[in-house]
Amino acid sequence: MSENGALRRGRPGYDQQGILDVAVAAFNQYGYDATSMGVLADRLGLSKSAIYHHFASKDEILERALDEALGALEGVLEEPAATRGRAADRIDHVLRAAVHVLVDKLAYVTLLLRVRGNTEVERRALARRRAFDKQVTSLVSEAQLEGSLRSDIDASVVARLAFGMINSIVEWYRPGGKEDADRIADDVIAVALDGVRMPTSNRVEELLR
């Protein structure tokens, strides 16, 4: 607030990305529906018109935030290590990279995981999540067909369990803790995939059939 009580029109350092970061933190704290533009203006120390200079609506802020999380996850599937080589190595890479996305964009992925489809923006985000999950499931299926992963467990179950574990990180991970993204990724792979990997001898037998 200025000395005359009026909200300042702007504050140095708050570009569009800065506003987005603060908005995502508020959405996570209060819930999207309960966070008004007035709440965002108070947290930013800006007028609502200053926010509207960057975003046309609260829905647009949400859409940009969800796109940041989804775009990063979708990008994982397009990386060379996720598209070339053995399916088992590719699924390993996808899970590890997804952990890094979650740690690097913790607030954004947290918001994504809380989406329930109450608005058109949220429904579009959920459709993209389902498409991502479907691609991961297909990758697990490939690993099963090549004999790298057990085939007696449904591929969709393997994918859901693995990402259920990854997604749970948002509930307990705190930046600056004793475990970094690489260590967490190692732990996820050990728990999520080692139990469904085919023993080497069985893998050879599968390939010879």
For the stretch 77-89, pLDDT in tens is 999 999 999 999 9
Residue 48 is part of which domain span? 1-55
Q: Which residues of the chain have pLDDT under 70?
A: 1-13, 198-209
Choosing from 10, 40, 55, the residue where a domain stops is: 55
Q: Are residues 96 and 197 in the same domain?
A: yes
Q: Are residues 36 and 111 in the same domain?
A: no
Q: Are residues 66 and 135 in the same domain?
A: yes
pTM, 2 dp: 0.85
The Cα 206–Cα 116 span in angstroms is 42
The Cα 36–Cα 48 span in angstroms is 10
Choosing from 55, 76, 99, the residue where a domain stops is: 55
The Cα 161–Cα 143 span in angstroms is 16
| Residue 48: both structure tokens together | 């609502």
| Residue 209: both structure tokens together | 């059939």
What is the distance in angstroms between the CA of the first residue and the CA of the last residue of the chain?
Answer: 75
Q: Are residues 20 and 118 in the same domain?
A: no
Q: Are residues 116 and 25 in the same domain?
A: no
Q: Are residues 119 and 48 in the same domain?
A: no
Question: What Cα–Cα distance (Å) separates residue 35 from each residue in 23, 29, 45?
Answer: 9, 9, 15
Q: Are residues 39 and 80 in the same domain?
A: no
